[in-house]
Structure 1
């Protein structure tokens, strides 16, 4: 028996991007574990990825090309050859492209975060064919936009510094479920005396383990940040030297913040004025004492109408108190922009030279409506073909009933690259088997730490599965695209992934990275201790001229939700309960839902409801209930608990529809409305009613 260990990287949509060690015996992967030497992973994997071999060798794994034989959505397929699959796809895409290539749409997101399998050959193919562009907004575009207006780029506090902080605010996140290795650092800080504060409408697993939980109403985070600014200014808990040297627009910010006294904030947020005051004091006093005060702001709070502004407001706080001076201070939303990705080399936008005229962009968050649009002067040509890879939009896109209706169009040619027959795969005309992370090469950045990682293929592709890159190479050849870039190997692409002209990646070498598995960027411990913000002014911009140019309020403000009791009382009379649908601990977006052991642990779709709301409706724990609004309905089992604040219901997600008792999930009731900036979805800006079945 021959046993070999391969170095890999977790590909899933998680900030931790773990370094993996894959054990292979006689060509079969027997174990996936965390690399104990990687400072971030520290030998620990989440429950999901630790079972990765179970996913790779799953009995329902797609191993051969398939074509649909039943009605769309029925999921009936027969096996075909790769030659027939590629020929069918090339013929259909070629015919459409000859008339109007923008009638072709790629749809992908973070089913793999690898730069080779997600950002290279597929992007080259769609640029060359002239397809519509996809605005990939579904996760973090709102918060990322607000953060960049303020800070200049998605750069923030290093994960490895959090354990040195004395105050940590976890704002809109549940790292126990979705950022495990940050939680390990936070626990270390707690053992050393740090105070932990969770700000979240729901008392999550993380909030339960913090010293304080502030359960504000969904969509009101921007107001709470303004209230903190008010207290910091009124009580002079400010680093005046840092403000003078490294910020822009403080006087205007002061005027705005003074409009938000704690009493007003308390009314908007549904909390007490005392909570607002004490939060600001804890934050300001610790920072001015030179202690590390760190905010981990996550994506939950930006999935509402004013989500971009909320993140912007929070991003202003560290500069007010000089928290950036300390390496363990500041704020982290994402570390994505720390990585100098060479996107031109990966994606080859120069291939668009083959196509003249305006390029159309479709927002992935409005895919339901867009698939149902006819050709018009405003919209352009009707979408005739959609190629889905690294995504499961029928399960994860908002207003799911409309999304399914769009995918059910008989005249829509749909190709899906997948590991399993997902809800979206059921609507495919051609279904192609893709490799998992254990079967292909890739290179990774991270949005939660500062390490470049290599993924070495550990086993041969199962069945007839092929990497995304190879599938698009073959399609390019079928369509006669003879550009040299379509001949590059995955290794050649990976070697170009990071721009070595940038000092942060000057030491990047693909061959060396493959051997070691990971390498930290050349990045300072405290990125903005001396200012140097990558904004137009070089400062933290309390006042943003760029926002003004873009038609936005240039100062921090509060934008109420589309749907709340306060902002929409007429709608609230019909649907009085706010609903959020954060990730379930045992799923990752819609990945791993089909892994039986993880689904068994999660149980069944359930809805958490406050005892007062349940009593009013005659609902008890264990009851099956219907959750509904004008957009749709789904059913779940109720858990009556005060983890959900009064007026809020929580449906931990995202279930595949086919594994739900009614064939539906929480996205039946979410809307396709977009955020204030970044054109992102508003998953947590929802009013519903709940009734016993």
Structure 2
């Protein structure tokens, strides 16, 4: 039997897959050849998904902590015992501190709208309790807000149109590691490709040209390129007049960013900046692919805002194969209010920032966080300031429940662990953020052991608490129909995927001057915001690993073998001044924390920059990872994370 499903992981591609089932067992997994993006291929990570599904390390039954927090010692208990204890603790916390003392902390371990996606799953239950809201600030929020200031949406161009592009700027993105299906459309074009990235990634090595600006200087570079275009008189005056607002003011801002000034900010040669600006000026259509990594710094939102203006002055937004692609999430018209049911809240409640977990657990006291539900997340491995997060999770007065597949770093700090289903074991609906396809996931095999879906877990917990709101007991199929109101659910379920139409810019015009940004206290014009880390040393980039997806798969034996020891890549010039040679064991540190790795000397990183892949588990990596050094500090827009605004010292061990 062949069952259509969808990859749930935090990747733009949103792949459709086919599960081969024999006698109730998944025996094969492959990409769906009929899906226009997947085209029959999965990535190096997801090709091993069935190994994870069948792993002996899977959590199969509820557990209660018996040792100290962090020791990872548990005893098996029944679901009745687990639900009874959770209900009793939540009741006591709510009576003493109010519902806002409960924090449902969701991550992107699943992008499914029914079972995961940063808070949609279980939100009805927590609303009925009056729990705090969870703001998923850790991934893409700064860039999303920045694009909305310019475009009114973060939707952008259809990446399938890359086939029509003549020039493609891959700006702070590495699709061959993070979303390789999008690379196929770039290959299918005859475009000249330029990678703009502080690191010469796998993707950069395949491009026609690579520019390596200093991290966090992308807005200055974008403004400088526009300066060159305008200096040449190559702007599209007709498009600007008919489809934009605030051009006169923005033209004055562009004039401030001369190639010489931009070279001083970015560390790029003036002639390289000039050459790229001139190439953009004379090439139509030009497309830009930017992803989440480039906006994880102090000026990340402003960088995306400025970048979206570039195709506004060239008129590329009006040309097939032109424009900017960041995330297509803004194009999906889904009925999220009915899915999440905020009307069930008994009163307005506070919002807690995902990025500020350590701060919230240690410092918030009105009321304090007394119960933490961790769902589709591994914050010890993924959140900034790892040591601070751990100190918060070590609180004996914090009741922590973790729904998980494996004994992650975070599971070690749980009071109760609940066994969760994996993707072939439950129903779900997904929307890609790297293309325009909805994808259906049909359950293919029964859950193993005592694993329950997230939705079923909260249905049972609602029953244990005696909650009477009927919406808390809706089936997964009912939830899907509510979410997809206005879409052909039956066709989606039968065919496995469905393309949606792009949504237009709400304002109808691109805004070079943004009244909304000004009302929020920001510069109404796109600007350059310098990096904010006050430390000295090297700027550390911690981009995606080729073998792990965030911390998913970081316990897979074969992928761990392929990834090898944790490495820290330095330019030979920087290594020489630190008495570091290739293969030297090193300590990477700052005032926030430290981790260990093996030095790799390469000109793939520019001088002044070091790089290490993210995603490892601390307990499999000497007790700490790169996140021990990353600040728990907000970017400019939306409170986003600043993973790449991080200076460190690197010393031999």
Same fold (TM over 0.5): yes
How far apart are the structure 1 equivalents of 2:370 and 2:134? 15
Aligned equivalents of 1:512, 1:543: Cα separation in 2: 43
Offset at 1:475? 0.8
1:687 aligned to 637, 642, 647, which one? 647
* Residue among 508, 519, 522 paired with 1:552: 522
**2:400 aligns with one of 414, 428, 445:** 414
Q: Which residue of 2 aligns with 1:74?
A: 71
Instruction: Give yes or no for the alignment of 1:298 onto 2:270.
Output: no
| Displacement after TM superposition at 1:522 (Å) | 3.0
Give 1:645's aligned residue. 606
Q: Deviations over 1:592-645 (max 9, x none)?
A: 101111111101211000000111111111111000011111100111001111
Matched with 1:10 is: 7
What aligned pairs does 1:9-158 form with structure 2 within 5 A after superposition?
Answer: 9-99=6-96, 100-118=98-116, 120-158=120-158
Structure 1 distance, partners of 2:275, 2:291, is 22
State the alpha-carbon separation in 2 of the partners of residues 228 and 374 from structure 1.
Answer: 44
Rounded Cα–Cα distance in structure 1 between residues aligned with 2:30 and 2:358? 39
Q: Which residue of structure 2 aligns with residue 198 of structure 1?
A: 195
The answer as to whether partners of 2:103 and 2:134 remain within 8 angstroms in 1 is yes
Residue matched to 2:439: 453
- The residue correspondences of 1:258-657 to structure 2 (distance < 5 A) are 258-287=255-284, 292-352=285-345, 355-356=346-347, 358-373=348-363, 375=365, 380-500=366-486, 508-523=487-502, 533-535=505-507, 538-563=508-533, 568=534, 571-572=535-536, 576-657=537-618
- 1:374 deviates by 5.2
Q: Structure 1 length as normaliser, TM-score?
A: 0.93
| Partner-residue secondary structure (3-state), 1:155 | coil
Unpaired segments ≥5 residues, structure 2: none
Are the counterparts in 2 of residues 577 and 688 from structure 1 also a CA contact under 8 Å? yes
Residue pair 2:614, 2:626 contacting (<8 A) in 1 also: yes
1:186 corresponds to 2:186: yes
In structure 1, C-alpha distance between the alignment counterparts of 2:320 and 2:257, rounded to whole Å: 30
- TM-score computed with the length of structure 2 as normaliser: 0.98
Q: Distance in 1 between matches of 2:440 and 2:136?
A: 24
* Deviation string, structure 1 residues 305-354 (Cα, Å, up to 9, x no partner): 000000000011111101022221100010001001111111011101xx
Output the CA distance in 1 between the equivalents of 2:376 and 2:279. Answer: 43
Q: Is residue 590–residue 656 contact of structure 1 (8 Å, CA) maintained in 2? A: yes
8 Å Cα contact 2:327-2:434 kept in structure 1: yes
- Aligned to 2:234, what secondary structure does the other structure show? coil
In structure 2, relative to structure 1, the CA distance for the partners of 1:154 and 1:499 (3 Å cut) is farther
Q: Secondary structure at the match of 1:244?
A: helix
Offset at residue 120 of structure 1 (A):
4.4
Query: Secondary structure at the residue paired with 2:13?
Result: coil
Name the SS for the 1:40 alignment partner: coil
Q: Following TM superposition, by how much is the alpha carbon of 1:304 offset from its aligned partner in structure 2, in angstroms?
A: 0.4
Tell me, what secondary structure is at the counterpart of 1:113? Answer: coil
- 2:489 and 2:88 map into 1 onto residues whose CA distance is 37
Contact 1:121–1:473 at 8 Å: present in 2 too?
no
**Aligned equivalents of 1:227 and 1:512: distance in 2?**
48
- Say yes or no: does 1:248 pair with 2:245: yes
Provide the C-alpha distance between the structure 1 equivalents of 2:40 and 2:319, rounded to a whole number of angstroms.
28
**For residue 632 of structure 2, what is the aligned residue in structure 1?**
672
Superposed displacement of residue 511, structure 1: 2.4
**How far apart, in 1, do the equivalents of 2:488 and 2:468 lie?**
28
User: RMSD of the TM alignment (CA)?
Assistant: 1.0
How far the C-alpha of 1:499 sits from its partner, in A, is 3.9
2: distance between equivalents of 1:54 and 1:476? 33
Residue equivalent to 1:503: none
Contact 2:113-2:121 at 8 Å conserved across structures: no
Equivalents in 2 of 1:604, 1:88: separation in Å?
41
Alpha-carbon spacing, 1:36–1:371, altered in 2? closer, same or farther (3 Å): same
Deviations 1:42-61 (A, max 9, x none): 11110111111101001100
Shift of 1:164: 1.9
Instruction: Give the corresponding residue for 1:504.
Output: none
Distance, in Å, in 2 between the alignment partners of 1:476 and 1:487 is 8
Distance of 2:639 and 2:320 partners within structure 1: 32
Distance 1:325 1:305 in 2: 31
Asked if the contact 1:90/1:478 (under 8 Å) is kept, the reply is yes
- Give the C-alpha shift of residue 188 in structure 1: 1.9
Aligned to 1:172: 172
Distance in 2 (CA, whole Å) between partners of 1:691 and 1:266 is: 30
Equivalent position SS for 1:257 = helix
In 1: Cα distance, 2:436 partner to 2:313 partner: 26
Q: Secondary structure at the match of 1:176?
A: coil
Helix, strand or coil for the counterpart of 1:117? coil
1:167-221, CA deviations, whole angstroms, 9 ceiling, x for partnerless residues?
Answer: 11000110000011111111222xx3x1000000011111111111110000000
